[in-house]
A and B are shown apart, each in its own frame.
Chain A
């Protein structure tokens, strides 16, 4: 699994990706803190803060849709990244149960997000 990954370092305040971007990587935090946020009615809404060992950026790669949120480093952060191509190769031979699980969870989360944004 490690052979897929590339370790990268980012300074604090770096935008890893933003809402609406086409997905490129999945991230795993080795060290540091990343903030996940969305814009709602022009205002930034923080959805969460992620630390060591958290995985993020996977949703857009599972269903091949634009990024649903923005990810910004809050501190100097070290991440492993997996490219879209490697991620797709990795999940291609996955047990259908996990693939189904990924898809349904992503769909449910996106639907709820849309409802929340509409409220």
Chain B
């Protein structure tokens, strides 16, 4: 599927993107490990790790909002990056079954994100307590 692409290489500690960056695409890890985190008060709060054959940066597919978290390579890592337009091109070439499911999921993600953003904006006006992600670990 990515025969026509060269994977990008990141060294341990390299930032793949930063919180606040404009999103350029979605990533698939072909080798290595990536940490997703947010920075609060100078501290890095991990949101999880991604490894071989896992995807990150998927929100780039649905909105033009800046990255809500950072991604950093934990070891030597190779990733494929697909811009939203390249993604749509791949989707057009995919099996109709796959296309139907991906389209539906992307649509659900968009609806859910909008609902979440609206709820969050409302909440912001009412209360300043609660942690960063609206949930306890």
Q: Return the contact of A102 from the options B102, B116, B119, B133 (Cβ within 8 A).
A: B102
**Which residues between 69 and 119 of chain A lie within 8 Å of chain B, taking CB atoms?**
90, 94-106, 108-109, 112-116, 118-119
A85 to B56, CA, bound (A): 28
Q: How far is A31 from B98 in the complex, measured between Cα atoms in Å?
A: 20
B118-134 residues with Cβ-Cβ distance < 8 A to A are 119-120, 123, 133-134
Q: Are B111 and A1 in contact (CB under 8 A)?
A: no
Number of interface residues of B (CB under 8 A): 37
**Interface 1/0s, chain A 25-67, versus B by CB < 8 A?**
0101000000000000000000110000111101100000000
Q: A47-B111, A108-B109 are in contact. Are A55 and B119 (CB under 8 A)?
A: no
- Asked if B58 contacts A104 (CB within 8 A), the reply is yes
Q: Are A105 and B134 in contact (CB under 8 A)?
A: no
The total number of A-B Cβ pairs within 8 Å is 88
Docked complex Cα distance between A47 and B101 (Å): 17
Q: Which residues of B contact A102 (CB under 8 A)?
A: 101-102, 105
Question: Do B28 and A97 touch (CB < 8 A)?
Answer: yes
What DSSP secondary structure best describes chain B's contact surface? helix
A residues in contact with B135, CB < 8 Å: 114-115, 118
> Which B residues lie within 8 Å of A112 (CB)?
109, 112-113, 115-116
Which of B9-17, B38-46, B70-78, B89-97 forms part of the interface with chain A? B89-97
- Closest Cβ–Cβ distance, residue A23 to chain B (whole Å): 14
- Which residues on the A side are within 8 Å of B59 (C-beta)? 108
Q: In the complex, what distance in Å separates the CA atom of A106 from the CA atom of B109? A: 8
Query: Contacts of A90 on B, CB cut-off 8 Å?
Result: 97
**Nearest chain B CB to A87 CB, angstrom units:** 9
CA distance A26 to B97 in the complex (A): 11
Instruction: Name the B residues within 8 Å of A96 (CB-CB).
Output: 28, 53
Q: Identify which of residues 12-30 in chain A touch chain B, using a CB-to-CB cut-off of 8 Å.
A: 26, 28
Complex contact B56–A116 (CB within 8 A) = no
Please indicate the chain A residues that have their CB under 8 angstroms from the CB of B104 in the complex. 54-56, 58
- Sort A-B residue pairs by CB-CB distance and give the 4 closest, nearest first: A105-B105, A55-B100, A112-B112, A100-B55
Q: Give 6 A-B contacts (CB < 8 Å), ordered by A residue.
A: A56-B104, A97-B28, A97-B55, A108-B58, A112-B115, A118-B134
Residues of A within 8 A of B (CB): 1, 26, 28, 47-48, 53-56, 58-59, 90, 94-106, 108-109, 112-116, 118-119
